[in-house]
Amino acid sequence: MDLTTIASFEWNFGDGTPVSNSPTPTHTYNVAGIFDVTLTVVDIDGCTSAITQQVTIGALPVAAFTFLSACSDNATSFTDLSYTTTGEEIVSWSWIFNDPNAAPGTDTSTMQHPVYHYTAQGLYNVTLTVTTENGCAGFITIPVQVFPAPEAAFTYVTNACANGAVSFQDASTSYQGAVTGWEWEFEPGYTSNLQNPNHIFYHSDSCYNVRLVVTDLRGCIDTLIQEVCIPAGLEVAIQHSITCLGDTTLFNALVVSPVGDSLVAYEWNFDDPGFRHAQYLYTG
């Protein structure tokens, strides 16, 4: 049938809505499903012809997601929760993390469950667009609050008389929260989960790179590696004069290490059965 000879068109869209007499109509379906669309035409001679064809209308997907550990310089994990009401498969995901601090085009992802690192605290409007196998798309925008990461810090106390023992004091902080976990590594194989631990280093007069990893109540972490130096232990040498039996022998105690230290108390044992030990307290 020549289109120039058609006198009228009648479209039945199969969803109960009024028919259309346009030769090229558009129609909006309010529900998803499979519809029998019928076109009936009448030519100028009064002849009628009809054709029916099935049209599949896909459902709009419902975009949804959650996120965890939204802290600066930490991995913020996003979990896609999108779905369709008709069971159609979602085949693509498009994330926009809306990070003005990122280089252009780098704050996006096409993964279903992406991970993104925000470098600064702030409120970011994250948009997820999902598309079904039929090409139907849905989107959602959720504000994501990014908090400052915790800041790991510690002090320590030791001295030459401690024989390598060091007392550590945690000084870490967390913005509007609390630090809830500590992971210390003093030297390979020696660790602690206490907030304020003690550790005895095997070698004195040495420095160690002590690592502290802290976790706050949001699950965000920060790592600090700080050099801890253990002072040398006390080492003393004895000088004495060369004398003869019955003469006075002069003794002098010298500090070998730590260099620059001085003695404040003495107790001498001359290994002489006829002479008592001598004690002297330096007060000057």
HEC readout, 206-226: EEEEEEEEEEECCCCEEEEEE
Residue 22: what are its φ and ψ, rounded to 5°?
Answer: -80, 145
**To which CATH superfamily is domain 3-57 assigned?**
Immunoglobulins (2.60.40.10)
* 281 confidence band (pLDDT: 50, 70, 90): very low
- Mean pLDDT, residues 230-243: 77
pLDDT, tens digit (0-9, with 9 covering 90-100), for 29-52: 988 888 999 999 999 988 999 999
According to DSSP, the residues that pair with 263 across neighbouring strands are: none
pLDDT, tens digit (0-9, with 9 covering 90-100), for 206-230: 899 999 999 998 888 999 999 999 8
pLDDT given for residue 284 in this prediction: 37
Residue 106 reports pLDDT greater than 50: yes
- Is 0.85 surpassed by the pTM of this model? no
pLDDT given for residue 52 in this prediction: 96
Share of the chain above pLDDT 70, in %: 90
CA-based nearest residue to 210, from 261, 165, 154: 154
Residue 257 reports pLDDT greater than 80: no
C-alpha Rg value of the chain to the nearest Å = 41
Residue 101 reports pLDDT greater than 80: yes
Distance CA 99, CA 92 (A): 22
**To which CATH superfamily is domain 65-146 assigned?**
Immunoglobulins (2.60.40.10)
According to DSSP, the residues that pair with 42 across neighbouring strands are: 8, 48
Q: Identify the residue with better confidence: 108 or 271.
A: 108
Distance CA 252, CA 238 (A): 6
- Is residue 128 a contact partner of residue 138, using CB atoms and an 8 Å limit? no
Q: Where in the chain is the domain with CATH 2.60.40.10?
A: 3-57, 65-146, 154-230
Distance CA 278, CA 268 (A): 5
Q: How high does pLDDT run on average in the chain?
A: 88
Residue 197 reports pLDDT greater than 70: yes
pLDDT given for residue 58 in this prediction: 80
**198 in helix, strand or coil?**
strand
Distance CA 5, CA 272 (A): 139
Non-local (6+) Cβ contacts of 56 within 8 A are 33, 34, 134
Non-local (6+) Cβ contacts of 100 within 8 A are none
According to DSSP, the residues that pair with 115 across neighbouring strands are: 77
pLDDT given for residue 283 in this prediction: 39
According to DSSP, the residues that pair with 22 across neighbouring strands are: none
Structure tokens at 188: 């390979």
pLDDT, tens digit (0-9, with 9 covering 90-100), for 137-174: 999 999 999 999 899 999 999 987 778 899 999 999 99
Q: How many CB atoms lie within 10 A of CB 276?
A: 9
- Comparing 23-37, 85-99, 108-122, 255-269, the range with the smallest average pLDDT is 255-269
Task: Give just the sign of the alpha carbon dihedral 21, 26, 32, 35.
Answer: positive
- Class of domain 154-230 (CATH, top level): mainly beta
* 275 confidence band (pLDDT: 50, 70, 90): low
